[in-house]
Structure 1
């Protein structure tokens, strides 16, 4: 097995998580951590990686790496992805891929031009209960899907963080709701229209959206920063013959027919949503992307999928501003299936 050499760029919550996982993965060398934080120096030494103050420093030193993991604030994704692609590096980018469809297309085009892969961490696809839901919907277990309802509530980000600036983070729509937007696209296909509302007050941001898909399915989505309880997420999908429900508090996929079956719940209160320890979705995601780099296989989440989620989130923001349904923009056809070397 060839060793894939990886650098993690950014060392916040997700950068630390990715670095820990990569340092333990078979067939992977955590070669470098790129961050200006004092903590990153100590952690790089602990993990046996080199430490650089920036991606530019890594590139200037000509350290041999095959891929970079971009665990940076969203507004920085495009500039770093284009710079990495121009140096021939594969890219694993934290979600959302960007804040506009134009930036997304520039990132994809840079990767196509340089013959490298672009993967985006829509980790919900790798949660075992959501993966099982996808299989059961595809198998027709509940018949044609009629409606879906997704909920994702979390603590509010620190008031002094970049998340607080919607021009840098996209707000709760791009940070939380985009998880469910991407997943529902994977089940239902293209969204025909989106109608959304956003409400803000000190320490709270709430968004609700109704997505109407081209296949006729209607989905209701909710996302909230500033939730008083523990992190909460759930998704219910209803078809002609039954319902499937995934719930982070239950840690299982519940199936019911007729009357809704009750199931036990327990509060987890984790900062980063997790699945069962044996099926860590972040590890599954990274292992999948690394294997795609190694083999050229098509990933579960394509760059076009990530761009489609951005387009729908942008339409939701526009809808909230204008107070009417908006049709999501389509990415250019040239951006399809750009996940392997030419």
Structure 2
């Protein structure tokens, strides 16, 4: 959800979500959530989170962006003019990078790249999604931190 907020460049205004717990029946909570998000800047997006699905593509985690000038999907840029361009990313150990940054902030006084307010906005969007899944209705996201 935080990656989607960053990519769109806007806070989430409203969430409508569905969930179920069919795949991991021994898990005490739902194991599949799909969030439809309306952003303050007019964009829309969706997030699928699943821990029970098995098969091709599951567990990879990826971001797709669809726009008026083109689409980014599976590390390729597809332009509206029909061009295709490979997007190269340097593979990094994100867990190590985030952990190192956290330690530098705590021990070295470095300012966090993402502050507590941004984290709270992501949590608020996730909580709104759980509330929406439970009620079956869209839920406004509290962003006033």
**TM-score of the pair, normalised by structure 1:** 0.35
Cα distance in 2 for residues equivalent to 1:285 and 1:254: 26
1:114 alignment partner in structure 2: none
Indicate whether 1:307 and 2:132 are aligned: no
Selected match of 1:235 from 47, 51, 63: 63
Alignment CA distance shift 1:290-1:216 (3 Å): same
1:117-136 aligned at under 5 Å gives the runs none
Task: Tell me if the contact between 1:307 and 1:331 (Cα under 8 Å) persists in the aligned partners.
Answer: no
Alignment CA distance shift 1:300-1:219 (3 Å): same
Which runs of 5 or more structure 2 residues have no equivalent in the other structure?
26-30
Cα distance in 1 for residues equivalent to 2:70 and 2:44: 16
Which runs of 5 or more structure 1 residues have no equivalent in the other structure?
1-180, 248-252, 264-274, 333-342
Cα distance in 1 for residues equivalent to 2:140 and 2:83: 34
Cα distance in 1 for residues equivalent to 2:34 and 2:83: 24
Selected match of 1:254 from 76, 80, 90: 76
Cα distance in 1 for residues equivalent to 2:108 and 2:68: 40
- Count of matched residue pairs: 133
Alignment CA distance shift 1:210-1:323 (3 Å): same
| Greater fraction of residues in helix | 1
Selected match of 2:93 from 275, 280, 285: 280
Cα distance in 1 for residues equivalent to 2:124 and 2:131: 11
Note the aligned Cα RMSD (angstroms): 2.5
- Say which structure, 1 or 2, has more relative contact order (CA 8 Å, 6+ apart): 2
**TM-score of the pair, normalised by structure 2:** 0.76
Indicate whether 1:316 and 2:129 are aligned: yes
| Corresponding residue SS for 2:61 | strand
Task: Tell me if the contact between 1:236 and 1:243 (Cα under 8 Å) persists in the aligned partners.
Answer: yes
